[in-house]
Structures are given as structure tokens and as C-alpha cells.
Structure 1
Amino acid sequence: MIRLDCPVCGHRDETEFAYLGDATVRRPDPSITDPGTWADFVFLRDNPRGAHCEYWQHVMGCREWLIVNRNTATHQIDSCQLARSVFAGEATMAASS
């Protein structure tokens, strides 16, 4: 079982969290009307092996959105940060390999 270190609640089992997707994917400009661009954004995802940044939400706890840097091969958690801190510039999101 994966254990995440929530910055608010401390160490918790993964069953308290919901995986929300790839934190490295950026939404296209809303003014782009090309269906192919939006189809790629919605449906095409990489399946990386190794270090990867992901969104998780602590749904059974503080409800915070987190950015988790996790190794997809070993499930080792390298970091777990509040998403709002990353986007406010208080922390940095680790680069995905």
C-alpha cells in the first residue's frame, strides 16, 4: 500500500486519497477551437516509467489537492506538496523524467 505524507494531516494510506491525473499536462489555450488539439489533451497521455508528478486529493481528510512526485515503477514517494503552494510560487514542482 502507498502511504502519502499529507502536508496538513501527516502520513495516511492511499485509500484516503483520490488520484486526479498527470500534473505535467497543461490545458490548451481556451481560444483554440481545433477538435484534434482538445482530443489530444483529453485522451492522449504518456505512461511514464520512473519519476512522475501527479495530482492527488485528500478526499477522506483535509480535502487539499496535492502534487505528488512518485516513481511509477517502485511507487516510492519522493515529495508531496500542497498544489496551492506550488502554484503560488512557495514551492516548486519537481520535473518529470
Structure 2
Amino acid sequence: MNIKISFENNDLASRSTAAAKREQVMPYLKANSVVSFEFKNVESISASYADELFGILTETFGLTAVSDRIKLINCNDFCAKEVAEAIFRRAEQEQPLIVC
């Protein structure tokens, strides 16, 4: 199953908003779905937002699962860099908490 997730704001900065988005996405990843994040109107993302959403998903599911099942659509270079840094920072810290 392919799921498309969009963002309500063009500036993603709130850790609590990122946590809510993560909770929305987790059941799909647990079900081995591919989740595509639509960044069409997103201009920026904070390091804390990227960590709370993508970093913790990486910590939870592991780098391989996140690489295989999370896609970034229409993502500008700045946002892609922040997301990549959050993913790799968490990937270096621990093994996955959930085996997929």
C-alpha cells in the first residue's frame, strides 16, 4: 500500500506537530506500507522537526526500513538535507526498536 502524507504549513518547526505527524505515519510503516511525504509547499524544516519525525522513525524502524519505505516528494535541497541529517544521526545511535 502507498500512502501520501502532506504538510499543513510551509515552515515545519514545531516538535509537537512533528510528533503528531509521526504518530499518524507509524501504523502505515508497521504494516510495511510505503509512505510518501509531499513537500510541495514546504519551504523549510527545522532540525528539531526533522529529528522528531524522521529521526525517531529511523530509531524505531531502522535505517533500511526508512530508506525503503519513506519517500520525499517535491522536497527542496534544504529540507532534504535536514531530513537526511536527522535520519543518519539517529541511525548511528541505536538499533531499531521494532523489527519489521
TM-score by length of 1: 0.22
Larger radius of gyration: 1
TM-score by length of 2: 0.21
